[in-house]
C-alpha cells in the first residue's frame, strides 16, 4: 500500500492549506416551482490543496517517489488528513470501532471540558488492568500524537499506548480531579500498516474521559469531534498527472500538491 | 470548523434541510439548505481558518 509521506518535522502539510468537501445533489426544478432533490452520497469527495515551501531534497524526493509509484493520478494511496482526527467515533465509545476489555463499564453523559455532557466515565470493575482501544489502518512508522482529556475523582493513573506489530510505546500519567489533556507522541519504526491506540485503566479505577484524538504529527491540536468518518482516507489520488516543483535553491523546494479522495471510504 | 464540516456532511451538502435562526433579527426559518455542493475551508493554522457558506431559505 502507498502512503503520502510525512515531512521531517513529523507533519503532513504546511499552513495555509485548503480542504474542500464536494457533494452531489441532483436537483429537479418542476414547472409548478416545486423542486425534487436526490442525494448521491457515493459521489462525495474531499480535496486538499497542499502548498509546501522550504522542502529539503529528501522531503521532495519522498513526494516525487509517491507520485511516480502512483503513476500520477492513476493509483490510490493512504492520506492522513492533516486537519482531521484519525479516530472514528471519538465520543461514541460504545461504538464497535472501539475494542473494550470485558470488565470495562462505560457511562456516557458526563460533564466535559467544553461545558457540555459529552464525556464518558470508564470504570474498571476488575482486579487487573483493563482498557479500550481503536485500531487505525495507516502507516505504523509515522509519528503520531494520541491525546485525550481525563480526570479522576480519586487519584489514579492511566496508560496511553501506541502499538504496532513492530513495537509498543506506553506512557503512564497520574490523574487528579481536574481535567488534564494527556498526550502520547512518538514514532515506532517498522513497516506495520495498522497502529492501535489504547487507554488502560488500573484495577478498580474509574476515570472520566473526553476528546480522544489521534493526529499524524508530533503534538496535539485542538480537539475535533468525529463520527463515522475518521481522518484516514485510503482511496486518495493526485488530482493532476503532473507535479511541478520550484527549485528555490540547493535543498530548498517549493511545490503544490493537490489530492482528492472519496469521502467515507 | 470541524463542527461545520460534520454538519455539512450530515446534510449531504445542499440536499438536506435544517432550521436556521437569522443572527440579524432572531427570526427562525424552519426549512433552509446550503446553497452549494462544495464547502471550502482555508486553514491558516491548526484548527483555525476561514470558510464561507450560503444558507438558503427553501420557502421564499
Kindly report, residue by residue over A243-264, the tens digit of the pLDDT. 999 999 999 999 999 999 998 6
pLDDT band at B2 (very low <50, low <70, confident <90, very high): confident
pLDDT at A35 over 90: no
Q: Report d(CA A172, CA A137) in Å as an integer.
A: 24
pTM to 2 decimal places: 0.92
pLDDT of residue A204: 93
Among A25, A38, A83, beta carbon nearest to B37:
A25
Q: How far is A164 from chain B (nearest CA, A)?
A: 27
Sequence-ordered list of residues with C-beta below 8 angstroms from that of A152, at least 6 positions apart, any chain:
A158, A175, A176, A177, A205, A206, A207, A208
Question: Which segments within chain A are labelled E, that is strand?
Answer: 17-22, 25-29, 35-39, 45-55, 77-80, 99-100, 104-110, 119-124, 130-136, 143-151, 156-164, 167-175, 180-187, 195-201, 206-215, 232-238, 246-249, 252-262
DSSP secondary structure letters along A17-63? EEEEEE--EEEEE-TTS-EEEEE-GGG-EEEEEEEEEEE-HHHHHHH
Q: Report d(CA B43, CA A37) in Å as an integer.
A: 31
Q: B interface mutation test: which of A13, A20, A21 has the most B CBs within 10 A?
A: A21
pLDDT of residue A34: 84
Q: Report d(CA A160, CA A168) in Å as an integer.
A: 10
Quote the cell numbers at residue A155. 487519584
Q: Report d(CA A224, CA A133) in Å as an integer.
A: 18
User: In terms of Cα–Cα distance, which of A141, A130, A109, A126 is closest to A208?
Assistant: A109
Residue A76: Cβ within 10 Å count: 18
Average pLDDT, chain A: 95
Quote the cell numbers at residue B48. 483555525
Residues B38, A23: C-beta atoms closer than 8 Å: yes
Residue whose C-alpha cell is 495555509 = A16
Residues B13, A37: C-beta atoms closer than 8 Å: no
User: In terms of Cα–Cα distance, which of A190, A137, A196 is closest to A1?
Assistant: A137
CA-nearest residue of chain A to B42? A18
Residue whose C-alpha cell is 435544517 = B18
State how far the alpha carbon of A261 is from the alpha carbons of A47, A162, A218, B52, in Å: 6, 27, 24, 22
Q: Report d(CA B60, CA B44) in Å as an integer.
A: 36
Mean pLDDT, to the nearest integer, of A4-27?
A: 96
Residue whose C-alpha cell is 474509574 = A206
Mind listing the pLDDT tens digit for each residue in A177-208? 999 999 999 999 999 999 999 999 999 999 99
pLDDT at B58 over 90: no
Question: What letter would DSSP give residue A251?
Answer: T
DSSP secondary structure letters along B15-60? T--EEEE-TTT--EEEEEEES-SEEEEEEEETTEEEE---EEES--
Sequence-ordered list of residues with C-beta below 8 angstroms from that of A34, at least 6 positions apart, any chain:
none
Q: A interface mutation test: which of B7, B15, B31, B38 has the most A CBs within 10 A?
A: B15
Amino acid at each position: 500500500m502507498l502512503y503520502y509521506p510525512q515531512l521531517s518535522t513529523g507533519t503532513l502539510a504546511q499552513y495555509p492549506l485548503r480542504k474542500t468537501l464536494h457533494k452531489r445533489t441532483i436537483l429537479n426544478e418542476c414547472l409548478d416551482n416545486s423542486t425534487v432533490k436526490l442525494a448521491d452520497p457515493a459521489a462525495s469527495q474531499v480535496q486538499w490543496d497542499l502548498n509546501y515551501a522550504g522542502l529539503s531534497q529528501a522531503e521532495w524526493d519522498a513526494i516525487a517517489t509517491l507520485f511516480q509509484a502512483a503513476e500520477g493520478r492513476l493509483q490510490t494511496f493512504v492520506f492522513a488528513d492533516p486537519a482531521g482526527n484519525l479516530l472514528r467515533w471519538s465520543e461514541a465509545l460504545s461504538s464497535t470501532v472501539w475494542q473494550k476489555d470485558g470488565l470495562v463499564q462505560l457511562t456516557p453523559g458526563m460533564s466535559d471540558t467544553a461545558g457540555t455532557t459529552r464525556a464518558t466515565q470508564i470504570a474498571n470493575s476488575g482486579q487487573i488492568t483493563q482498557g479500550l482501544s481503536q485500531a487505525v489502518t495507516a502507516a505504523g512508522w509515522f509519528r503520531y500524537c494520541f491525546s485525550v482529556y481525563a480526570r479522576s475523582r480519586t487519584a489514579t493513573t492511566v496508560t496511553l499506548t501506541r502499538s504496532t506489530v513492530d513495537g509498543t510505546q506506553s506512557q503512564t500519567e497520574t490523574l487528579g480531579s481536574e481535567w488534564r489533556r494527556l498526550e502520547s507522541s512518538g514514532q515506532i519504526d517498522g513497516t506495520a500498516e495498522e497502529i492501535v491506540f489504547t487507554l488502560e485503566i488500573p484495577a478498580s479505577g474509574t476515570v472520566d474521559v473526553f476528546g480522544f484524538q489521534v493526529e499524524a504529527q508530533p503534538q496535539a491540536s485542538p480537539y475535533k469531534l468525529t463520527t463515522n468518518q475518521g481522518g484516514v482516507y485510503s482511496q486518495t489520488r493526485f488530482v493532476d498527472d503532473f507535479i511541478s516543483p520550484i527549485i528555490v535553491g540547493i535543498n530548498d523546494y517549493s511545490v503544490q500538491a493537490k489530492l482528492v479522495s472519496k469521502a467515507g471510504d | 470548523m470541524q463542527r461545520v464540516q460534520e454538519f455539512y456532511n450530515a446534510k449531504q451538502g445542499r440536499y438536506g434541510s435544517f432550521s436556521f435562526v437569522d443572527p440579524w433579527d432572531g427570526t427562525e426559518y424552519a426549512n433552509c439548505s446550503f446553497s452549494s455542493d462544495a464547502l471550502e475551508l482555508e486553514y491558516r493554522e491548526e484548527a483555525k481558518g476561514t470558510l464561507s457558506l450560503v444558507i438558503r431559505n427553501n420557502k421564499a
